[in-house]
Amino acid sequence: MKKDIIKIALFGLTLSGTLVSCSDYLDNVPKGQKIPTSLSDFTTLLADEYTNHREDITQASVLLNDRYVTISYQSYYPLWKANYFWDTSIDRIKENNSDETTYYNGYAAVSTANLILENVDATTATDSEKAIAKAQAKFLRASRYLTLVNY
């Protein structure tokens, strides 16, 4: 009986601990960070070349172009060698276990575009400026989806 009371008390404490939350925790902006709220913030996000406009499609460029691949790359990365020599006997799915950068960058850009499309109407910009920002965000999202589908 005593063990049951202890178990019930521990369960009650655990349950009450999980139901208590810090409601203002997500409202605190980290030091040195900014939440985008104005049209200039959103256009700055659109112009971020290092995250939104980066397409790491190295293997596709090896396959599609006359790109020179050094011997050291061919011996170190089996996928480079398979793509460079068009070797169909190598299982590319097995060898392509670490080249996920294209997907990470692509979905990061899609997330940025969705953030802009969701919040640009709340800015104090003119309707034409909002329409331009929306069009640019839709184009960014569509071009990233095109890369993700075809890579």
Per the prediction, the chain carries an average pLDDT of 78
pTM confidence score: 0.62
Q: Which domain holds residue 114?
A: 2-150
Total structural domains within the chain: 1
Using alpha carbons, list the distances in angstroms from residue 151 to 35, 95, 147.
32, 15, 6
**CA-CA distance, 140 to 135, in Å (whole number)?**
9
> What confidence tier does 76 reach under pLDDT thresholds 50, 70, 90?
low
Is residue 102 within 8 A of residue 148, CB to CB? The reply is: yes
For residue 117, give the 3-state DSSP assignment.
Answer: helix
**CA-CA distance, 8 to 85, in Å (whole number)?**
67
pLDDT of 90: 78
> What confidence tier does 31 reach under pLDDT thresholds 50, 70, 90?
confident
> What confidence tier does 111 reach under pLDDT thresholds 50, 70, 90?
very high
Q: What does the CA dihedral 74, 75, 80, 85 come to, rounded to 10 degrees? A: 60
